Structure 1
Amino acid sequence: MPYKDFLASLESGQTRVAQKIGTDWQVNIEVKQKILEVFKNTKIVAMNGFRDKEALTARTFTEEDNVRMVPGGTSVRAGAHIGKNVVIMPPSYVNIGAYVDEQSMVDSHVLVGSCAQIGKRVHLSTAVQIGGVLEPIGNRPVIVEDDCFVGAGVILTEGIIVREKAVLAPGVKLSASVPIYDIINQTIIKGEIPVGAVVVPGTRPILSNNWAKEQNLSIACAVIIKHKDEKTSSATALENILR
Protein backbone atom coordinates (compact mmCIF):
# COMPACT_ATOMS: atom_id res chain seq x y z
CA MET A 1 0.00 0.00 0.00
CA PRO A 2 1.35 3.48 -0.85
CA TYR A 3 2.68 5.49 2.11
CA LYS A 4 2.77 2.43 4.37
CA ASP A 5 6.35 3.08 5.49
CA PHE A 6 5.68 6.78 6.10
CA LEU A 7 2.62 6.07 8.25
CA ALA A 8 4.54 3.38 10.14
CA SER A 9 7.30 5.91 10.85
CA LEU A 10 4.73 8.34 12.28
CA GLU A 11 3.21 5.59 14.40
CA SER A 12 6.59 4.54 15.82
CA GLY A 13 7.43 8.14 16.71
CA GLN A 14 10.52 8.13 14.51
CA THR A 15 8.93 10.84 12.35
CA ARG A 16 7.13 13.78 14.00
CA VAL A 17 5.25 16.83 12.79
CA ALA A 18 6.92 19.03 15.42
CA GLN A 19 9.92 18.64 17.68
CA LYS A 20 11.29 20.57 20.62
CA ILE A 21 14.73 22.08 20.05
CA GLY A 22 15.89 23.59 23.32
CA THR A 23 12.83 25.50 24.50
CA ASP A 24 11.46 26.12 21.00
CA TRP A 25 9.15 23.92 18.94
CA GLN A 26 9.91 23.56 15.25
CA VAL A 27 7.31 22.43 12.72
CA ASN A 28 8.46 19.89 10.14
CA ILE A 29 6.62 21.20 7.08
CA GLU A 30 7.81 18.29 4.95
CA VAL A 31 6.00 15.83 7.23
CA LYS A 32 2.78 17.81 7.01
CA GLN A 33 3.15 17.93 3.22
CA LYS A 34 3.53 14.15 3.16
CA ILE A 35 0.37 13.73 5.25
CA LEU A 36 -1.53 15.90 2.77
CA GLU A 37 -0.16 13.72 -0.05
CA VAL A 38 -1.71 10.69 1.63
CA PHE A 39 -5.12 12.35 1.47
CA LYS A 40 -4.63 13.54 -2.09
CA ASN A 41 -3.24 10.38 -3.65
CA THR A 42 -5.18 7.56 -1.99
CA LYS A 43 -8.70 6.55 -2.92
CA ILE A 44 -11.73 6.23 -0.67
CA VAL A 45 -12.77 2.64 0.02
CA ALA A 46 -15.24 0.79 2.22
CA MET A 47 -13.65 -0.64 5.39
CA ASN A 48 -15.63 -2.57 8.01
CA GLY A 49 -18.74 -0.48 7.55
CA PHE A 50 -16.85 2.82 7.15
CA ARG A 51 -15.56 4.69 4.10
CA ASP A 52 -12.21 6.47 4.31
CA LYS A 53 -8.93 6.95 2.53
CA GLU A 54 -7.48 3.52 1.79
CA ALA A 55 -4.21 4.17 3.63
CA LEU A 56 -5.90 5.47 6.79
CA THR A 57 -7.41 2.41 8.40
CA ALA A 58 -7.83 2.59 12.17
CA ARG A 59 -4.85 1.39 14.18
CA THR A 60 -4.89 -1.83 16.17
CA PHE A 61 -2.58 -2.55 19.10
CA THR A 62 -0.67 -5.64 20.24
CA GLU A 63 0.91 -6.69 23.51
CA GLU A 64 4.21 -5.33 22.22
CA ASP A 65 2.71 -1.83 21.89
CA ASN A 66 1.85 -1.81 25.62
CA VAL A 67 -1.10 0.54 25.06
CA ARG A 68 -4.42 0.10 26.86
CA MET A 69 -7.35 1.12 24.67
CA VAL A 70 -10.63 0.26 26.36
CA PRO A 71 -13.49 -1.02 24.12
CA GLY A 72 -16.40 1.26 23.35
CA GLY A 73 -16.03 3.46 20.28
CA THR A 74 -12.45 4.75 20.40
CA SER A 75 -10.47 5.08 17.19
CA VAL A 76 -6.81 5.88 16.58
CA ARG A 77 -6.18 6.74 12.95
CA ALA A 78 -3.24 5.43 10.98
CA GLY A 79 -0.21 7.70 11.34
CA ALA A 80 -0.84 8.61 14.98
CA HIS A 81 1.80 7.79 17.60
CA ILE A 82 0.67 6.32 20.94
CA GLY A 83 3.47 5.86 23.47
CA LYS A 84 4.02 3.05 25.94
CA ASN A 85 1.61 2.78 28.89
CA VAL A 86 -0.87 5.26 27.42
CA VAL A 87 -4.48 4.65 28.46
CA ILE A 88 -7.32 5.63 26.11
CA MET A 89 -10.88 5.58 27.45
CA PRO A 90 -13.92 5.38 25.18
CA PRO A 91 -15.13 7.08 23.14
CA SER A 92 -12.10 9.07 22.02
CA TYR A 93 -10.42 9.87 18.73
CA VAL A 94 -6.76 10.43 17.88
CA ASN A 95 -6.12 11.75 14.37
CA ILE A 96 -3.25 11.32 11.90
CA GLY A 97 0.04 13.02 12.77
CA ALA A 98 -0.83 13.30 16.46
CA TYR A 99 1.80 12.28 19.02
CA VAL A 100 0.74 11.07 22.47
CA ASP A 101 3.78 10.31 24.61
CA GLU A 102 4.34 7.67 27.29
CA GLN A 103 2.13 7.21 30.37
CA SER A 104 -0.47 9.77 29.34
CA MET A 105 -4.20 9.39 29.97
CA VAL A 106 -6.73 10.14 27.22
CA ASP A 107 -10.08 10.16 29.00
CA SER A 108 -13.60 9.72 27.60
CA HIS A 109 -14.93 11.95 24.79
CA VAL A 110 -11.48 13.38 24.06
CA LEU A 111 -10.35 14.56 20.63
CA VAL A 112 -6.65 14.71 19.87
CA GLY A 113 -6.63 16.51 16.53
CA SER A 114 -4.33 16.01 13.58
CA CYS A 115 -0.67 16.73 14.36
CA ALA A 116 -1.29 17.70 18.03
CA GLN A 117 1.71 16.96 20.26
CA ILE A 118 0.98 15.60 23.75
CA GLY A 119 3.84 15.00 26.19
CA LYS A 120 4.61 12.37 28.81
CA ARG A 121 2.35 11.80 31.85
CA VAL A 122 -0.29 14.23 30.58
CA HIS A 123 -3.88 13.84 31.75
CA LEU A 124 -6.46 14.83 29.15
CA SER A 125 -9.68 14.80 31.17
CA THR A 126 -13.19 14.05 29.94
CA ALA A 127 -14.38 16.02 26.88
CA VAL A 128 -11.07 17.79 26.22
CA GLN A 129 -10.81 19.02 22.65
CA ILE A 130 -7.32 19.43 21.18
CA GLY A 131 -7.59 21.13 17.80
CA GLY A 132 -5.84 19.76 14.76
CA VAL A 133 -3.86 21.54 12.07
CA LEU A 134 -2.84 20.42 8.61
CA GLU A 135 -3.54 23.70 6.84
CA PRO A 136 -2.09 26.32 6.60
CA ILE A 137 0.85 23.99 6.30
CA GLY A 138 3.33 26.13 8.24
CA ASN A 139 1.11 26.57 11.26
CA ARG A 140 2.20 25.11 14.58
CA PRO A 141 -0.03 22.39 16.08
CA VAL A 142 -1.37 22.51 19.62
CA ILE A 143 1.39 21.37 21.99
CA VAL A 144 0.93 20.13 25.56
CA GLU A 145 4.26 19.41 27.22
CA ASP A 146 5.14 16.82 29.87
CA ASP A 147 3.30 16.43 33.20
CA CYS A 148 0.40 18.75 32.39
CA PHE A 149 -3.14 18.33 33.71
CA VAL A 150 -5.90 19.40 31.31
CA GLY A 151 -9.27 19.60 33.07
CA ALA A 152 -12.67 18.49 31.81
CA GLY A 153 -14.07 20.35 28.83
CA VAL A 154 -10.92 22.33 28.07
CA ILE A 155 -10.58 23.44 24.42
CA LEU A 156 -7.14 24.17 22.94
CA THR A 157 -6.77 25.44 19.37
CA GLU A 158 -4.63 27.52 16.99
CA GLY A 159 -1.23 26.24 18.00
CA ILE A 160 -1.37 27.18 21.68
CA ILE A 161 1.58 25.83 23.72
CA VAL A 162 0.97 24.54 27.24
CA ARG A 163 4.36 24.30 28.93
CA GLU A 164 5.32 21.46 31.24
CA LYS A 165 3.60 20.94 34.60
CA ALA A 166 0.85 23.46 33.83
CA VAL A 167 -2.67 22.84 35.17
CA LEU A 168 -5.72 23.94 33.18
CA ALA A 169 -8.94 24.03 35.23
CA PRO A 170 -12.18 22.65 33.74
CA GLY A 171 -13.74 24.86 31.09
CA VAL A 172 -10.66 26.82 30.03
CA LYS A 173 -10.82 27.73 26.33
CA LEU A 174 -7.61 28.88 24.69
CA SER A 175 -6.54 29.89 21.21
CA ALA A 176 -3.69 32.02 19.93
CA SER A 177 -5.85 35.14 20.19
CA VAL A 178 -7.34 34.63 23.67
CA PRO A 179 -5.56 36.86 26.24
CA ILE A 180 -4.14 35.15 29.30
CA TYR A 181 -4.04 37.38 32.38
CA ASP A 182 -1.14 36.49 34.65
CA ILE A 183 -2.15 38.05 37.96
CA ILE A 184 1.04 36.79 39.62
CA ASN A 185 3.33 38.76 37.29
CA GLN A 186 0.66 41.33 36.38
CA THR A 187 1.04 40.90 32.63
CA ILE A 188 -1.00 39.77 29.64
CA ILE A 189 0.31 37.01 27.40
CA LYS A 190 -1.01 35.14 24.36
CA GLY A 191 -0.32 31.82 22.72
CA GLU A 192 1.55 30.12 25.57
CA ILE A 193 0.92 28.92 29.11
CA PRO A 194 4.10 29.20 31.22
CA VAL A 195 5.73 26.29 33.05
CA GLY A 196 3.77 25.22 36.12
CA ALA A 197 1.03 27.83 35.72
CA VAL A 198 -2.44 27.10 37.13
CA VAL A 199 -5.05 28.53 34.76
CA VAL A 200 -8.78 29.08 35.35
CA PRO A 201 -11.50 30.42 33.04
CA GLY A 202 -12.31 34.11 33.46
CA THR A 203 -14.00 37.06 31.78
CA ARG A 204 -13.04 40.65 31.06
CA PRO A 205 -15.36 43.61 30.43
CA ILE A 206 -15.72 45.13 26.97
CA LEU A 207 -14.55 48.72 27.43
CA SER A 208 -14.03 49.75 23.81
CA ASN A 209 -17.75 50.04 23.02
CA ASN A 210 -20.16 52.25 24.98
CA TRP A 211 -23.20 50.11 24.26
CA ALA A 212 -21.35 46.98 25.40
CA LYS A 213 -20.38 48.77 28.60
CA GLU A 214 -23.99 49.78 29.21
CA GLN A 215 -25.07 46.16 28.84
CA ASN A 216 -22.27 44.95 31.15
CA LEU A 217 -21.03 42.62 28.44
CA SER A 218 -17.81 40.70 28.84
CA ILE A 219 -15.78 38.21 26.84
CA ALA A 220 -13.88 35.11 27.84
CA CYS A 221 -10.26 35.10 28.89
CA ALA A 222 -7.95 32.87 30.89
CA VAL A 223 -6.43 33.76 34.26
CA ILE A 224 -3.21 32.44 35.79
CA ILE A 225 -4.05 32.46 39.49
CA LYS A 226 -0.95 30.76 40.87
CA HIS A 227 1.84 28.34 40.08
CA LYS A 228 1.72 24.65 40.76
CA ASP A 229 2.41 23.76 44.39
CA GLU A 230 2.37 20.58 46.47
CA LYS A 231 -1.40 20.77 47.02
CA THR A 232 -2.08 21.16 43.30
CA SER A 233 0.34 18.36 42.44
CA SER A 234 -1.45 16.01 44.83
CA ALA A 235 -4.87 16.89 43.43
CA THR A 236 -3.84 16.30 39.81
CA ALA A 237 -1.45 13.33 40.19
CA LEU A 238 -1.83 10.37 37.88
CA GLU A 239 -2.50 7.09 39.65
CA ASN A 240 -0.01 4.46 38.55
CA ILE A 241 -2.33 1.71 39.76
CA LEU A 242 -4.74 2.60 36.92
CA ARG A 243 -2.07 1.73 34.37
Structure 2
Amino acid sequence: MSWNKILDQLEAGTIRAADRDGDTWIANVKVKEAILDAFKAGKNVSYGGIYEGFVDKDNLPPRIMHPDEGVRLVPGGSSIRRGAYVAEGVILMPPAYVNIGAYIDEGSMVDSHALVGSCAQIGRNVHLSAGVQIGGVLEPVGLSPVVVEDDCFVGAGSVIVEGILVKRGAVIAPGVTLSKSVPVYDCVHEKLLGKGAPIPERAVVVPGSRPVSNEWGKSQGLSISCPIIIKYRDEGSNASLELEEALR
Protein backbone atom coordinates (compact mmCIF):
# COMPACT_ATOMS: atom_id res chain seq x y z
CA MET A 1 0.00 0.00 0.00
CA SER A 2 1.31 3.47 -0.89
CA TRP A 3 2.29 5.98 1.77
CA ASN A 4 -0.43 8.31 0.46
CA LYS A 5 -3.19 5.76 1.12
CA ILE A 6 -1.80 5.02 4.57
CA LEU A 7 -1.81 8.74 5.45
CA ASP A 8 -5.44 8.90 4.29
CA GLN A 9 -6.30 5.97 6.56
CA LEU A 10 -4.45 7.58 9.47
CA GLU A 11 -6.51 10.75 9.05
CA ALA A 12 -9.71 8.68 8.93
CA GLY A 13 -8.71 6.78 12.08
CA THR A 14 -9.05 3.39 10.38
CA ILE A 15 -5.41 2.50 11.09
CA ARG A 16 -3.06 3.69 13.82
CA ALA A 17 0.66 4.00 14.41
CA ALA A 18 0.31 1.70 17.45
CA ASP A 19 -2.25 -0.91 18.46
CA ARG A 20 -3.25 -2.26 21.84
CA ASP A 21 -2.19 -5.82 22.58
CA GLY A 22 -3.55 -6.81 25.98
CA ASP A 23 -1.95 -4.52 28.55
CA THR A 24 0.68 -3.20 26.16
CA TRP A 25 0.89 -1.28 22.91
CA ILE A 26 2.72 -2.44 19.81
CA ALA A 27 4.05 -0.13 17.11
CA ASN A 28 2.56 -0.57 13.64
CA VAL A 29 5.83 -0.81 11.73
CA LYS A 30 4.21 -0.55 8.28
CA VAL A 31 2.54 2.72 9.24
CA LYS A 32 5.73 4.25 10.60
CA GLU A 33 7.68 3.12 7.54
CA ALA A 34 5.05 4.74 5.30
CA ILE A 35 5.41 8.03 7.18
CA LEU A 36 9.18 7.93 6.69
CA ASP A 37 8.63 7.18 2.99
CA ALA A 38 6.37 10.22 2.76
CA PHE A 39 9.13 12.41 4.18
CA LYS A 40 11.58 11.04 1.61
CA ALA A 41 9.13 11.56 -1.26
CA GLY A 42 8.25 15.15 -0.35
CA LYS A 43 9.98 18.28 -1.56
CA ASN A 44 10.23 21.53 0.36
CA VAL A 45 7.88 24.17 -1.02
CA SER A 46 6.61 27.57 0.04
CA TYR A 47 2.95 27.35 1.01
CA GLY A 48 0.43 29.95 -0.06
CA GLY A 49 -2.92 31.23 1.17
CA ILE A 50 -3.31 31.26 4.94
CA TYR A 51 0.06 29.46 5.20
CA GLU A 52 1.96 32.06 3.18
CA GLY A 53 5.60 32.23 4.27
CA PHE A 54 5.80 28.69 5.65
CA VAL A 55 8.03 26.05 4.04
CA ASP A 56 7.54 22.29 4.43
CA LYS A 57 7.16 19.08 2.46
CA ASP A 58 4.72 19.52 -0.43
CA ASN A 59 2.95 16.23 0.39
CA LEU A 60 2.45 16.94 4.12
CA PRO A 61 0.39 20.13 4.31
CA PRO A 62 -1.55 21.17 7.42
CA ARG A 63 -5.06 19.79 7.54
CA ILE A 64 -8.03 22.04 6.87
CA MET A 65 -10.80 21.15 9.31
CA HIS A 66 -14.53 21.50 8.57
CA PRO A 67 -17.44 22.00 11.00
CA ASP A 68 -19.02 18.64 10.15
CA GLU A 69 -15.93 16.90 11.58
CA GLY A 70 -16.94 18.12 15.05
CA VAL A 71 -13.47 19.37 16.00
CA ARG A 72 -12.91 22.81 17.54
CA LEU A 73 -9.66 24.18 16.12
CA VAL A 74 -9.59 27.59 17.79
CA PRO A 75 -7.85 30.39 15.81
CA GLY A 76 -4.42 31.54 16.89
CA GLY A 77 -1.57 29.46 15.47
CA SER A 78 -2.57 25.82 15.98
CA SER A 79 -1.91 23.20 13.31
CA ILE A 80 -2.85 19.59 12.59
CA ARG A 81 -0.44 17.98 10.18
CA ARG A 82 -1.30 15.65 7.32
CA GLY A 83 -1.67 12.05 8.54
CA ALA A 84 -2.94 12.90 12.03
CA TYR A 85 -6.33 11.78 13.35
CA VAL A 86 -8.42 14.10 15.51
CA ALA A 87 -11.80 12.73 16.59
CA GLU A 88 -15.15 14.41 17.03
CA GLY A 89 -15.43 16.47 20.19
CA VAL A 90 -11.71 17.28 20.44
CA ILE A 91 -10.78 20.88 21.29
CA LEU A 92 -7.43 22.44 20.36
CA MET A 93 -6.59 25.75 21.99
CA PRO A 94 -3.98 27.99 20.36
CA PRO A 95 -1.17 27.52 19.82
CA ALA A 96 -1.13 23.72 19.75
CA TYR A 97 0.47 21.29 17.32
CA VAL A 98 -0.53 17.75 16.33
CA ASN A 99 2.13 15.98 14.29
CA ILE A 100 1.89 13.30 11.61
CA GLY A 101 0.67 9.87 12.72
CA ALA A 102 -0.77 11.15 15.99
CA TYR A 103 -4.19 9.92 17.17
CA ILE A 104 -6.46 11.95 19.49
CA ASP A 105 -9.69 10.26 20.50
CA GLU A 106 -13.13 11.70 21.25
CA GLY A 107 -13.69 14.41 23.82
CA SER A 108 -10.05 15.21 24.52
CA MET A 109 -8.64 18.69 25.14
CA VAL A 110 -5.28 19.92 23.83
CA ASP A 111 -4.56 23.18 25.60
CA SER A 112 -2.33 26.12 24.65
CA HIS A 113 1.35 25.49 23.86
CA ALA A 114 0.78 21.73 23.94
CA LEU A 115 2.47 19.32 21.51
CA VAL A 116 1.19 15.92 20.44
CA GLY A 117 4.22 14.42 18.73
CA SER A 118 4.43 12.15 15.70
CA CYS A 119 2.60 8.84 16.20
CA ALA A 120 1.60 9.67 19.82
CA GLN A 121 -1.68 8.03 20.87
CA ILE A 122 -4.12 10.01 23.03
CA GLY A 123 -7.27 8.31 24.33
CA ARG A 124 -10.81 9.48 24.99
CA ASN A 125 -11.56 12.34 27.40
CA VAL A 126 -7.89 13.13 28.02
CA HIS A 127 -6.93 16.60 29.20
CA LEU A 128 -3.53 17.85 28.05
CA SER A 129 -2.99 21.06 29.98
CA ALA A 130 -1.07 24.14 28.84
CA GLY A 131 2.53 23.52 27.85
CA VAL A 132 2.32 19.73 27.91
CA GLN A 133 4.84 18.01 25.63
CA ILE A 134 3.90 14.56 24.35
CA GLY A 135 6.96 13.28 22.52
CA GLY A 136 6.87 11.67 19.12
CA VAL A 137 8.56 8.34 18.47
CA LEU A 138 8.89 7.84 14.73
CA GLU A 139 12.26 6.11 14.79
CA PRO A 140 13.21 3.41 15.45
CA VAL A 141 10.08 2.12 13.73
CA GLY A 142 9.72 -0.85 16.10
CA LEU A 143 9.49 1.31 19.21
CA SER A 144 6.00 2.07 20.51
CA PRO A 145 5.15 5.79 20.67
CA VAL A 146 3.94 7.62 23.76
CA VAL A 147 0.45 6.43 24.71
CA VAL A 148 -1.90 8.25 27.08
CA GLU A 149 -4.99 6.12 27.60
CA ASP A 150 -8.61 7.16 28.23
CA ASP A 151 -9.65 9.55 31.01
CA CYS A 152 -6.15 10.74 31.91
CA PHE A 153 -5.31 14.24 33.14
CA VAL A 154 -1.86 15.66 32.33
CA GLY A 155 -0.96 18.82 34.25
CA ALA A 156 0.64 21.96 32.87
CA GLY A 157 4.23 21.78 31.71
CA SER A 158 4.54 18.01 32.02
CA VAL A 159 6.78 16.13 29.58
CA ILE A 160 6.06 12.55 28.46
CA VAL A 161 8.56 11.12 25.97
CA GLU A 162 10.39 8.00 24.72
CA GLY A 163 7.43 5.67 24.36
CA ILE A 164 6.08 5.97 27.91
CA LEU A 165 2.66 4.40 28.53
CA VAL A 166 0.24 6.24 30.83
CA LYS A 167 -2.63 3.91 31.63
CA ARG A 168 -6.32 4.70 31.92
CA GLY A 169 -7.45 7.30 34.42
CA ALA A 170 -3.99 8.33 35.62
CA VAL A 171 -3.36 11.89 36.82
CA ILE A 172 -0.02 13.52 36.05
CA ALA A 173 0.67 16.63 38.15
CA PRO A 174 2.14 19.81 36.63
CA GLY A 175 5.85 19.65 35.95
CA VAL A 176 6.27 15.87 35.93
CA THR A 177 8.78 14.38 33.47
CA LEU A 178 8.30 10.79 32.34
CA SER A 179 11.00 9.17 30.20
CA LYS A 180 12.87 5.89 29.80
CA SER A 181 15.77 7.19 31.89
CA VAL A 182 13.78 8.29 34.94
CA PRO A 183 12.69 5.72 37.59
CA VAL A 184 9.14 5.84 38.94
CA TYR A 185 8.54 5.35 42.68
CA ASP A 186 5.25 4.05 44.07
CA CYS A 187 4.81 5.33 47.62
CA VAL A 188 1.44 3.62 47.98
CA HIS A 189 2.76 0.11 47.39
CA GLU A 190 6.27 1.01 48.60
CA LYS A 191 8.17 -0.20 45.57
CA LEU A 192 10.34 1.04 42.73
CA LEU A 193 8.61 0.56 39.38
CA GLY A 194 11.84 1.16 37.48
CA LYS A 195 13.00 3.36 34.64
CA GLY A 196 10.42 4.02 31.97
CA ALA A 197 7.80 1.91 33.73
CA PRO A 198 4.18 2.28 32.60
CA ILE A 199 2.15 4.53 34.85
CA PRO A 200 -0.54 2.30 36.40
CA GLU A 201 -4.26 2.90 36.02
CA ARG A 202 -5.65 5.75 38.16
CA ALA A 203 -2.25 6.56 39.66
CA VAL A 204 -1.72 10.14 40.84
CA VAL A 205 1.85 11.12 39.94
CA VAL A 206 3.61 14.17 41.37
CA PRO A 207 7.13 15.62 40.95
CA GLY A 208 9.59 14.27 43.50
CA SER A 209 13.31 13.90 44.07
CA ARG A 210 15.83 11.28 45.16
CA PRO A 211 19.34 11.81 46.55
CA VAL A 212 22.38 11.60 44.29
CA SER A 213 24.07 8.25 44.89
CA ASN A 214 27.77 9.16 44.81
CA GLU A 215 29.55 10.45 47.90
CA TRP A 216 30.35 13.90 46.53
CA GLY A 217 26.72 14.44 45.54
CA LYS A 218 25.60 13.34 48.98
CA SER A 219 28.06 15.72 50.63
CA GLN A 220 26.60 18.58 48.59
CA GLY A 221 23.03 17.63 49.41
CA LEU A 222 22.21 17.12 45.71
CA SER A 223 19.10 15.37 44.46
CA ILE A 224 17.66 14.27 41.12
CA SER A 225 14.06 14.77 40.09
CA CYS A 226 11.81 11.72 39.74
CA PRO A 227 8.08 11.00 39.49
CA ILE A 228 6.33 9.68 42.58
CA ILE A 229 2.96 7.92 42.76
CA ILE A 230 1.45 9.51 45.83
CA LYS A 231 -2.01 7.89 45.72
CA TYR A 232 -4.55 6.09 43.51
CA ARG A 233 -7.94 7.39 42.43
CA ASP A 234 -11.09 5.36 42.88
CA GLU A 235 -13.38 4.77 39.90
CA GLY A 236 -15.66 7.69 40.57
CA SER A 237 -13.20 10.33 41.72
CA ASN A 238 -12.62 13.63 39.99
CA ALA A 239 -9.13 13.98 38.50
CA SER A 240 -8.63 17.65 39.33
CA LEU A 241 -9.86 17.24 42.90
CA GLU A 242 -7.63 14.19 43.43
CA LEU A 243 -4.65 16.17 42.14
CA GLU A 244 -5.40 19.17 44.31
CA GLU A 245 -5.64 16.95 47.40
CA ALA A 246 -2.43 15.07 46.55
CA LEU A 247 -0.44 18.29 46.16
CA ARG A 248 -1.46 19.75 49.52
TM interval, short-chain normalised: over 0.9
Secondary structure of residue in 1 paired with 2:228 = strand
Looking at structure 1, the residues matched to 3 and 135 of structure 2 have their Cα atoms a distance apart, in angstroms, of 24
Moved over 2 A (4+): 2-6, 229-237
In the superposition, the TM-score normalised over structure 1's length comes to 0.93
- Among 220, 225, 228, the residue aligned to 1:220: 225
Q: Gapped runs of 5+ residues in structure 2?
A: 244-248
Looking at structure 2, the residues matched to 68 and 136 of structure 1 have their Cα atoms a distance apart, in angstroms, of 33
- Among 198, 216, 219, the residue aligned to 2:204: 198
Secondary structure of residue in 2 paired with 1:211 = helix
In the superposition, the TM-score normalised over structure 2's length comes to 0.91
Matches within 5 A, 1:113-192: 113-189=117-193, 190=195, 191-192=197-198
User: Which letter does structure 2 place at the counterpart of 1:36?
Assistant: L
Residue number in structure 2 paired with 1:67 = 71
Looking at structure 2, the residues matched to 4 and 29 of structure 1 have their Cα atoms a distance apart, in angstroms, of 16
Secondary structure of residue in 2 paired with 1:164 = coil
Looking at structure 2, the residues matched to 186 and 197 of structure 1 have their Cα atoms a distance apart, in angstroms, of 14
Looking at structure 1, the residues matched to 185 and 167 of structure 2 have their Cα atoms a distance apart, in angstroms, of 16
Preserved contact between residue 98 and residue 117 of structure 2 (Cα < 8 Å): yes
- Among 56, 68, 83, the residue aligned to 2:60: 56
Residue number in structure 2 paired with 1:241 = none
Deviates more, 1:24-33 or 1:120-129: 24-33
Once the two structures are TM-superposed, the CA of residue 231 in structure 1 deviates from its matched residue by 5.2
Preserved contact between residue 3 and residue 55 of structure 1 (Cα < 8 Å): no
Deviates more, 1:185-194 or 1:211-220: 185-194
Looking at structure 1, the residues matched to 242 and 159 of structure 2 have their Cα atoms a distance apart, in angstroms, of 18
User: Which letter does structure 1 place at the counterpart of 2:43?
Assistant: K
Once the two structures are TM-superposed, the CA of residue 140 in structure 1 deviates from its matched residue by 1.2
Preserved contact between residue 103 and residue 120 of structure 2 (Cα < 8 Å): yes
Residue number in structure 1 paired with 2:246 = none
Preserved contact between residue 121 and residue 148 of structure 1 (Cα < 8 Å): yes
Q: RMSD of the alignment, in Å?
A: 1.5
